[in-house]
Structure 1
Amino acid sequence: MAKKKVLCFGELLLRISPAVNATAEKNPVLVYVGGAEANVATALAGWDVPVKYCTVLPDNFMARHMLHYLEYHNIYTSSVLFSGNRIGLYYLERGADLKGNMVYDRDHSSFSELKRGMIDWDRVLHDVSWFNFSAISPALNENVADACLEALEAASKKDITISVDLNYRSRLWKYGKHPIDVMPALVEHCDVVMGNIWSANTLLGIPVDEHIHDKKSRDAYLSHAVETSKQIIQKFPKCKTVANTFRFDSKDNDILYYTSLFTDNKEFHSQEFTCHGVVDRSGSGDCFMAGLIYGLYNQHAPQELLNYASAAAFGKLQEFGDATGQDVLTVSEMSSK
């Protein structure tokens, strides 16, 4: 009997990436297929988890090329809806952070014109045991946020496990709604929540210590993560697992990365990962989300799945493009060091 699939739902984007301080002849502008949820799907498919993708694209040759990209990576595309006239774009310098030199061009994209009632969720979810989305989609506009809620209601009725990445994009919340007005109603349906103590504050209203940085202590950050996790679980009773990530970039381009997991009233911490310089900062959080789903889907022990997800996320920092190409053996070896 075939395994049930993980469904990733979100906007499939094209990423346009020039090199920083380089001539066009030596470093041409590169184009990647991207989007947070697509990055999760690509990682999971590469780790032999059956996964399909649901999005909205225009019916044109470029959209077909993007679907071929997904299919090449063994991602099922039968749930893609063709509607509208344009593909969403974003521009990001290679090696830059999503918080840095990045520009969105997503207005009036096919996905941004999604409305409740356009997707037959009963058909899309018929072979699905896990539904994954991110806080990026409801940040686009009120109609997309409502379509997300429709999807979550349908998945909940089918007892499908639901996960959310609380990635906050301040450049997107521009339609008159604050995240705190939208996200709690969506997270009420979630079994797994991933983010950090700051996104939990911005998106869900979970208190954050404004002076936490002054403590300059790993123990202080991890203790705060436990408290944040407990408050999320108390506020959203369906949620049973919360993961928090911490990444600190120094002025010298040194990276410090570690994570935590709270489940069954127990806390788990990853090792500390450090390096000098990264190849590409985008997609690391998506890779962690994929690792989290990978471990939970395969019923791995909490510490084991946290080690895997953390190693995958850190390894992604040394890869070009949005999605990881790391295989299970590579990540497992790094996680066991």
Structure 2
Amino acid sequence: MLNQENILVFGELLLRFSSSEDQFISKNHTVSLFPGGSEANVSASLGQWKIPCSYVSCVPDNALAANALQSLEELGVNTNKTLRQGNRLGLYFLLSANGLTSGEVVYDRKFSSFSNLKPGVIDWDKVLDGHTWFHWTALTPALNENMAAVCKEALVAARAKGLKISVDLNYRSRLWDYGKQPIEVMPELVAYCDVIMGNIWAANKMLGIPVDDSLNRETSVEDYKQHANASAKIVFEQFPQCKHIANTYRFMDNPKHNLFYGTYHTPDGNYISEVQETNDVIDRIGSGDAFMAGLIYGILSSTDGAEIIRMATSSGYNKLFVKGDFGNGNI
């Protein structure tokens, strides 16, 4: 039975520009535009599952931002708490049609309305009122020191109000460019979290959890499971607030191929999903966010660890067949 938590998701709303070819600038092709951003993607899935969900961001008061927010509203997400101020919406450019190649992502997020937020602007006690779960990601404190401080504000308020807190340790090296490394920022913030999603490499980069440098594409599923179990054990020891950990494993052998599975851990047990594999990928952007949403859905609807990781992995895998950043709600 689904436990109807009221979830507040905080992060930057982005617009994605995708080329119809693997070269973004050329003479005869089109560019597709999609709303996105990791946290918006999570909200989109939760909304489609009819889980009460509010999305909080900061966007300029213009038609472009309004249209992007409307796309979330149409999926069942409440965007009324989003601030309308500043002058620009964050953008990113995908230098391929769908993220299937090694095509680069170019961010254009500096000086956006969201990245210009300062501590004290958001009344977190008011914004969090009525909610029981707060979700954020490592992308936000990656933007600048002020955004790291805003995250700290939100987490302190959420913990004081007794909300469950989840984080996605998504790491983007191009964003951490203001003189701080993740390991200098993230441990203090993650200490507030009940649910941590990412992978063993992100846990190493952001939390200092040891990882074996010899692990690669040829490492067996069973070996990855054992390494995930060991990593989770250390996370639970170092971050006692945390009661749920999940890791994704995604490997690509060619543009259309994806191998996808996950592990889930509690202080009392370790679980692994079935391995999902396809050679028919349409769009892999947002698959990790769909996994995160599925993890939240699983924790809300089941106490069975095997079922929780099945739902998370299924949600992430199904996103591979959906164009754009948002999933389609299949789980």
TM-score greater than 0.5 by the shorter chain: yes
Q: Secondary structure of the residue that 1:286 maps to in structure 2?
A: helix
Which residue number in structure 1 is paired with residue 51 of structure 2? 49
Which residue number in structure 2 is paired with residue 9 of structure 1? 10
Superposition pairs of residues 296-311 of structure 1, within 5 angstroms:
296-311=299-314
CA–CA distance in structure 1, aligned partners of residues 40 and 292 of structure 2:
11
CA–CA distance in structure 2, aligned partners of residues 94 and 50 of structure 1:
33
Q: State the shift of 1:301 in Å.
A: 2.0
1:298-321: CA deviations, max 9, x gaps?
Answer: 344221121111011011111100
1:136-188: CA deviations, max 9, x gaps?
Answer: 01100000010001000000001100000000000100000000000001100
CA contact (8 A) 2:36 2:326 kept: yes
Which residue number in structure 2 is paired with residue 334 of structure 1? none
Aligned AA for 1:16?
F
CA–CA distance in structure 1, aligned partners of residues 249 and 44 of structure 2:
23
CA–CA distance in structure 2, aligned partners of residues 197 and 208 of structure 1:
7
CA–CA distance in structure 2, aligned partners of residues 99 and 185 of structure 1:
33
The correspondence for 2:121, drawn from 112, 118, 121, is 118
CA–CA distance in structure 2, aligned partners of residues 121 and 214 of structure 1:
43
CA–CA distance in structure 2, aligned partners of residues 190 and 66 of structure 1:
29
CA–CA distance in structure 2, aligned partners of residues 148 and 118 of structure 1:
12
Gap runs ≥5 in structure 2: none
Q: Does residue 137 of structure 1 match 2:140?
A: yes
Aligned AA for 1:10?
G
CA–CA distance in structure 1, aligned partners of residues 16 and 251 of structure 2:
24
Distance 1:276 1:215, change over 3 A: closer
Q: State the shift of 1:297 in Å.
A: 2.0
Which residue number in structure 1 is paired with residue 92 of structure 2? 90
Superposition pairs of residues 1-337 of structure 1, within 5 angstroms:
3-21=4-22, 28-92=30-94, 93-96=96-99, 100-213=103-216, 216-251=219-254, 253-327=256-330, 331=331
Q: State the shift of 1:252 in Å.
A: 7.0
Q: Which moved more, 1:205-214 or 1:76-85?
A: 205-214
Q: Secondary structure of the residue that 2:297 maps to in structure 1?
A: helix
CA contact (8 A) 2:100 2:256 kept: no
CA contact (8 A) 1:241 1:263 kept: yes
CA contact (8 A) 1:98 1:282 kept: no
Q: Per residue, is there more helix in 1 or in 2?
A: 1
Q: State the shift of 1:325 in Å.
A: 1.1
Distance 1:62 1:108, change over 3 A: same
CA contact (8 A) 2:141 2:148 kept: yes
Distance 1:98 1:193, change over 3 A: farther
Which residue number in structure 2 is paired with residue 335 of structure 1? none
1:98-123: CA deviations, max 9, x gaps?
Answer: 97421000010000001110001111
Aligned AA for 1:209?
D
CA contact (8 A) 2:295 2:309 kept: yes
CA contact (8 A) 1:13 1:88 kept: yes
Q: State the shift of 1:264 in Å.
A: 3.5
CA contact (8 A) 1:95 1:278 kept: no
Aligned AA for 2:253?
S
CA contact (8 A) 2:256 2:282 kept: no
CA contact (8 A) 1:206 1:228 kept: yes
1:20-44: CA deviations, max 9, x gaps?
Answer: 2589898521110000000000001
Gap runs ≥5 in structure 1: 332-337
Percent identity, aligned pairs only, is 45
1:180-200: CA deviations, max 9, x gaps?
Answer: 000001100000000101011
CA contact (8 A) 2:233 2:267 kept: no
Aligned AA for 2:310?
N
Q: Which moved more, 1:157-166 or 1:261-270?
A: 261-270
Q: Which moved more, 1:14-23 or 1:310-319?
A: 14-23
CA–CA distance in structure 2, aligned partners of residues 187 and 56 of structure 1:
23
CA RMSD of superposed structures (Å): 2.0
CA contact (8 A) 2:101 2:255 kept: no
**Equivalent pairs, count:** 327
CA contact (8 A) 2:134 2:166 kept: yes
CA–CA distance in structure 1, aligned partners of residues 100 and 140 of structure 2:
20
Distance 1:280 1:27, change over 3 A: farther
CA contact (8 A) 1:165 1:289 kept: yes
Distance 1:221 1:80, change over 3 A: same
Distance 1:158 1:99, change over 3 A: farther
CA contact (8 A) 2:100 2:281 kept: no
Q: Secondary structure of the residue that 2:246 maps to in structure 1?
A: strand
